[in-house]
Chains A and B, each alone.
Chain A
């Protein structure tokens, strides 16, 4: 009985660590959404399974299956980038990338969150934010670049 308790506690501990990582990612996006939109629930289009799992647990995010329904599109692959470029999305739809190269590929993408040399990289481009009339609070200033 006691052994079961110990195993259960260890599982809970590992699960907790995993949950903490997901929690911090979700927190980052929640924070961003709060400044990008004035809505309670944000419609997000994301193809990546991992991101889907992370977002699915949020009461403030609604995952949508079509690009046209999304407030926020995450460019996680070349295919999504192509789709976005092909379709005429609403100017209100905000595009966000998970790779640096997509930032270079499309000027509609306002920023990106990705990993480089084991370090998280969080970037926004000032001119692209301006185009969407987005002004981020001072806390974001160190992540905002004038140019790529």
Chain B
């Protein structure tokens, strides 16, 4: 749309220029024609006057005029008579023995303008001499600015007697007359002038708009730190592929302290200096984007140079070399994360998210450090892309894998945990963990769609295998999601027999404040015989306090407590013992997660834990893998 407008505007202006040019040319031609006609007329006048002078003086011009004042006055009057608005001056000169021009006759009407007889005249043009010596008429086109601005043209007509110049008749056409002649072209000229004015105004406006656009664009694209703005980079990556770049996220640690200590003006100058140093060190085509405070997102074009070497050299340059400013020497502490962007990345905001996460890790581990992000993180970029997930859901590339939960006392699988997975678009053998994609769709409609697919899968499996029990995960937030809960309720109600074989494992990523409501939801889940388990018990938010307030059936001991059985066996056993005893008293089942080997399994048996889950018993796999 904008392009069409621009093209249209340019075409319109070009057409106007064309028309104005054509009209201007027509006027020039017409003016030349009028000028030619005037010259012919003037020459005819000059001939007549010259003949008259010759006749009146009997071909002895100088002699007669010197001697006979009466003839002089008569001829002056004749010249006066010829002075109309066409001619401004009309006079006759002769050249004395010294080569000076002197007046013989002057047709001026005003006394003060009238030159005296034989008064000296110093012409500005050499054409006077030329006309006199050659005996040929000369035309002087007078300048429009300067002494002779009121004269349009001077026609110098030599008065010859026996082939020799005796006097020089000067007829001077006035500028006023030229303007008068131009009025014949005036309608056309008026149009041209209006067009020229319009074009001029348009051009001025365009220049003004261009100037304003430049300033506005500059303020929108360049930050006060001299780095680019997010607006710029958004536009930039709407045209360029992010995959052609690698990225850094750089942050000056404790910059607030610098501002506090040296003042904001100093801080601003320092940050500009910092940006400048980054610019100097980065390869051509790099983009530094101010992403807030003293944090900068940098995109640098991919090169054949080793990314790690390049990144480390850059980090060293900006960090280890001191900054000299206003008599102060400062060593900056800088945290930085760097990512080699994979060919599958699409959004710059995703890149920023990954860099952000890793910069946060750097900061949490004491700041002032460089983290080059592992290439596998690119999977997060790829699979964390909302469009990619959306496509996977619509193509039903979402599935459940099942991991067995085993009664270790009888070495018998009693249940399977359904674990959601995504299948890679290009490589269907590649199964993607929810770690990469679940976070991206939380609180979106896609999450509900995915949950529905999981429920369909779980209920389908339960229907297909009537003896199988399955546990599935529910986030605490899911319980508050009315839409999702309604959907679960519908499934449970519809398949009440199946419902008895389902366990809902509740995962918490935050504290529970309204236990009553949660208990009510648990009640809703258990209405048709399903069980409720607390996942990751013994770590994070899933603690003992829950047991006092929540009505659950199963405790799933957090994997971290199982993992320490081999490294800190005594204490770990004690803790597991206490959980087991507590569960027994509360009449709860206990499941140990992350059981990776026989040794752990034996310890669990010793403690008296009945159920276990982990790679030792089987990895997540399609249900057919376990039930033949």
A residues near B (Cβ < 8 Å) are 100-101, 104, 115-123, 142-143, 145-146, 148
Contacts and interface: CB of A to CB of B under 8 A. Distances in A.
B122 A121 contact: yes
A27 to B, nearest CB: 15
- The 5 lowest CB-CB distance pairs between A and B, nearest first, are A118-B148, A117-B89, A121-B122, A119-B124, A118-B150
Contact of B100 (A120, A122, A145): A145
B122 A143 contact: yes
Interface residues of B, number: 19
Contact of B147 (A118, A143, A146, A148): A118
Interface string B72-108: 0000000000000000110100000010100000000
Contacts, number: 42
Nearest to B148: A118
Given A117-B172, A145-B100, A123 B120 contact: yes
B246 to A, nearest CB: 47
B381 interface: no
A100 B100 contact: no
Most chain B beta carbons < 10 A, residue from A104, A118, A119, A120: A118
B150 A104 contact: no
Nearest to A99: B112
A119 B88 CA distance: 13
Given A100-B116, A117-B89, A145-B100, A123 B148 contact: no
A120 B119 contact: no
A142 B124 CA distance: 12
A85 B120 CA distance: 24
Interface string B144-181: 00011111000000000000000000001000000000
A76 B246 CA distance: 85
Contact of B98 (A115, A116, A118, A146): A146
Contacts of B119: 100, 116
B177 to A, nearest CB: 14
A119 B122 CA distance: 8
B121 A117 contact: yes
Contact of B91 (A100, A117, A121): A117
B123 interface: yes
Contacts of B89: 117-118
27 contacts: A100-B116, A100-B120, A101-B116, A115-B147, A116-B115, A116-B119, A116-B121, A117-B91, A117-B115, A117-B121, A118-B88, A118-B147, A118-B150, A118-B151, A119-B121, A119-B123, A119-B124, A119-B147, A121-B122, A123-B120, A123-B122, A142-B122, A143-B122, A145-B98, A145-B120, A146-B98, A148-B120
A109 B116 CA distance: 18
A120 B124 CA distance: 9
Contacts of A119: 121-124, 147-148
Most chain B beta carbons < 10 A, residue from A123, A142, A148: A148
A132 to B, nearest CB: 21
A122 B120 CA distance: 10
A145 B101 CA distance: 12
Given A142-B122, A143-B122, 9 more contacts: A100-B119, A116-B119, A117-B115, A118-B148, A119-B121, A119-B124, A121-B122, A145-B98, A148-B120
A116 B100 CA distance: 15
Nearest to B124: A119
Given A145-B100, A146-B98, A121 B121 contact: yes
Most chain B beta carbons < 10 A, residue from A104, A119, A120, A145: A119
B257 to A, nearest CB: 43
B215 to A, nearest CB: 14
Interface in B123-158: 123-124, 147-151
A117 B91 CA distance: 9
A148 B147 CA distance: 24
Contacts of B116: 100-101, 104
Most chain B beta carbons < 10 A, residue from A104, A117, A120, A143: A117
Contacts of A101: 116
A142 B147 CA distance: 19
B597 to A, nearest CB: 82
Contacts of B115: 100, 116-117
Contacts of A121: 120-122
A101 B119 CA distance: 9
Contacts of A104: 116
Contacts of A123: 120, 122
Contacts of B122: 119, 121-123, 142-143
Contacts of B124: 119
A100 B119 CA distance: 8
A118 B149 CA distance: 8
A28 B206 CA distance: 45
A2 to B, nearest CB: 9
Contacts of A120: 147
A121 B119 CA distance: 11
Contacts of B149: 118
Contacts of A145: 98, 100, 120
Contacts of A122: 122
Nearest to B102: A148
Contacts of A116: 115, 119, 121
A116 B148 CA distance: 10
A136 B186 CA distance: 51
Contacts of A117: 89, 91, 115, 121, 172
Nearest to B172: A117
A145 B96 CA distance: 12
A104 B116 CA distance: 10
A77 to B, nearest CB: 12
A60 to B, nearest CB: 25
Contacts of B150: 118
Most chain B beta carbons < 10 A, residue from A101, A116, A123: A116
Nearest to B145: A17
Nearest to A146: B98
A116 B122 CA distance: 9
Contacts of A118: 88-89, 147-151
Contacts of A115: 147
A116 B88 CA distance: 12
A119 B148 CA distance: 6
B113 to A, nearest CB: 8
A128 B219 CA distance: 73
Contacts of B98: 145-146
A141 B91 CA distance: 26
Contacts of A142: 122
A119 B123 CA distance: 7
Nearest to B150: A118
